[in-house]
Amino acid sequence: MSRIDTRLLDILCCPITRRPLRMLDGQMLDKVNAAIAGGRVRNHGGTTLSDALTQALVTTDGDLVYPVRDGIPVLLEEECIHWAAFND
């Protein structure tokens, strides 16, 4: 699994809210993946997710989650997960 360069993380922001992004920690990643496995997670594009995330970025308020695929952040609005809607 490729890691994101910390210098890149320092300049990345959410394309929707403009909030800074940070790596999603392991415990939260497990919660997101459990919700995905339960078929409860749709991205902003309306697609129900079925594949677990190996890495993700999250806004500093914990609201929006963006997948990281092969070490590359996918910062497209339709790919993000509105995590607050699934985090109970």
Show me where the domains of the chain are located. 6-85
- Who contacts 40 (Cβ-Cβ below 8 Å, separation ≥6)? 86
The CA dihedral of 67, 68, 74, 80, to the nearest 10 degrees, is 10
CB count, 10 Å around CB of 73? 19
Residue type for position 20: P
> Cα–Cα distance between 79 and 5 in angstroms, integer?
21
- Residue among 14, 10, 12, 28 nearest 77 (CA): 14
pLDDT in tens, 32-73: 999 999 998 999 999 999 999 999 999 999 999 999 998 889
pTM equals: 0.89
DSSP state of 21: E
Confidence of residue 1 (pLDDT cuts 50, 70, 90): low
In this prediction, residue 83 carries a pLDDT of: 84
